[in-house]
Amino acid sequence: MLRKVRAYIEEFHLLTDDKPIIVGVSGGADSVALLSVLCDLNYQCIAAHCNFHLRGSESDHDEAFVRTFTSARNIPYYKIDFDTESYAEEKHISIEMAARELRYQWFEQLRVSLSAQAIAVAHHEQDNVETVLLNLIRGTGIKGLTGMQPKNEYVVRPLLSVKRNDILAWLEHKDISYVTDSTNLSDEYTRNFIRLKIIPLLEEINPSVSEAIIRTAENLTDAEKLYASSLSEYQKKVLSEDHSVLIEPLLNTPAPKTVLYEILKSYGFNRSVVNDIYLSLSGESGKRFYSSTHQLLKDRDRLFIVPLAEPEKDTQCLFLNEQDREIQSPIKLSLRNEVIIESPSISKEKNIATLDRDKLQFPLCLRRWKEGDWFIPFGMKGRKKLSDYFTDRKLSLFEKEKIRVLCSGENIVWIVGERIDNRFCVDKNSKEMLIIQFFD
């Protein structure tokens, strides 16, 4: 077994000889074998044990075993206690997931503090088979069907090519003791149910089903690399600079629904919602879809995605007094007065408004725009509805929702970040300017 593990480590460049390795040790056969094998291969090992306090005195017995085992072999040993059930309840996750999160968070903290090169965990071939079946049952994509990988950032799995029976035979040959987790003999948890019920049934059909599943996962690993590469190229074609999704290029891809899902899943949209979004692509503008963190808007030829925000009342008004020089919320503005001595220098940037101060009535009001609002665009004489102005500017619904206006009395002075009203512009009779800058 030593030769097999050494060859696997070398093939996938898992470990080096110059830095220590954090080895997760529960006290069970797999982790004890991993620690023993790595020590026999002359790696610098540091044992790390988690007591999740899920099995009463049995958990404490496992901790005592690992402490005694490592002490007898002069292996550095660290341990931590977790209130796993409270953590699971707080995070609204399963006990299995809570234990996993707590374990890997601590392992990483330990790796950093001890300047270790990696975190070695004892997953073996059967664990990988269970993972592939578990992901298949959950309905994951091609990535999930590739199973566990030899290396995932700092986490390495040196025993992934070793069968469980080989591990047990090696421990017996070396006369190395270990503890047995009673929960591994129960089908209470999903993974255990697959191990104790599903795989034996599959072996009745094909005694070599585990090898077949691993072989399929290896084949899919290469297929997934090609898939990821192609997907990256398609995403470049369908995503605009503002990260909105361009509908026509999306529909021209070989598998538009899949490309759309791969883009949207990182924003929290599940397959069911993505299917609804896909069906809306040929429909009218204005339809919205929501995940737990984002909202998506179908607007003309594209899909806009923005984070969910706290709703604000359209009638909310923030008053700006003559002495105000800046505001930070709900948007950031700076204000300054400037006396006109000669011909004024007026910025053409949309985020800067240069106004005749004497034409303004304080306090000014900063609010969201609403239907029916109108103004006289700078350089024009006739009034224009803001809704028509936004249509001419081809602003999306999301962009329109973010628009605020600055008002003097009942009159709009500036569509912030867009255009000022002609009635408040600086002219030849102006004596003092109010210059307002918007920081988007």
Give the model's pLDDT for residue 187: 55
**Residue 101 neighbours by CB distance under 10 Å:** 16
Tens of each residue's pLDDT in the chain, 440 residues: 899 999 999 999 999 999 999 999 999 999 999 999 999 999 999 999 999 998 889 999 999 999 999 999 999 999 999 999 999 999 988 888 999 999 999 999 999 999 999 999 999 999 999 999 999 988 877 888 999 999 999 999 999 999 999 999 999 999 999 998 766 655 557 888 898 899 999 999 999 999 999 999 999 998 998 998 999 999 999 999 888 999 999 999 999 999 999 999 989 998 889 999 999 998 888 888 999 899 999 988 999 998 886 555 445 789 999 899 999 988 999 999 999 888 878 888 999 999 999 999 999 999 999 889 999 999 998 999 999 999 899 888 888 888 999 999 999 999 999 999 999 999 989 999 999 999 98
**Residue environment code for 179-217, b if the CB has 16+ CB neighbours within 10 A, otherwise e:** bebeeeeeeeeeebebbeebbeebeeeeeebbeebbeeb
- The token duo for 191 is 């993974």
Who contacts 330 (Cβ-Cβ below 8 Å, separation ≥6)?
A: 312, 318, 366, 404
Residue 315: the pLDDT is: 52
Please name the residues in contact with 283: beta carbons below 8 A apart, sequence gap of 6 or more: 298
Provide long-range contacts, Cβ within 8 A and 24+ apart, for 42-45.
42/17, 43/15, 43/17, 44/19, 44/20, 45/20, 45/21, 45/75, 45/76, 45/120
Taking the C-alpha atoms of residue 6 and residue 14, their distance in angstroms, rounded to an integer, is: 10
Torsions phi, psi for 58 (to 5 deg): -65, -40
Q: Measure the CA angle with vertex 9, ends 6 and 13; round to 5°.
A: 140
**Residue 409 Cα to chain centre, angstroms:** 46
Report the SS3 class of residue 168.
Answer: helix
- Paired with 47 in beta bridges are 23, 77
- Residue 189 contacts residue 96 (beta carbons within 8 Å): yes
Give exposure, 263-290, as e/b (b: 16+ Cβ within 10 Å): bbeebebeeebbeebbebbeeeeebebe
Which residues on adjacent β-strands are paired with residue 353? 436
Residue 195 DSSP class: I
What the block records as the tokens of 219 is 């084949």
The first and second tokens of residue 135, run together, are: 């992901």
Distance CA 231, CA 250 (A): 11
Of 43, 34, 46, nearest to 1 by C-alpha is: 34
* Nearest CA among 282, 323, 319 for reference residue 303: 282
The reported pTM is 0.65
**Per-residue CA distances from 76 to 61, 68, 98, 103, 109 (Å):** 19, 11, 26, 18, 16
Which residues, 6+ apart, have CB-to-CB distance to 221 below 8 Å? 146, 149
Q: In angstroms, rounded to a whole number, what is the distance separating the alpha carbons of residues 127 and 192?
A: 10
Name the helix (H) or strand (E) containing 207. Answer: none
Q: Does the N-terminal peptide bond of residue 363 adopt cis geometry, omega within 30 degrees of 0?
A: yes
Residue the block writes with tokens 């034996």: 200
Do the Cβ atoms of 34 and 23 come closer than 8 Å?
yes
Tell me the torsion sign for CA atoms 250, 251, 252, 254: positive
Amino acid at 145: L
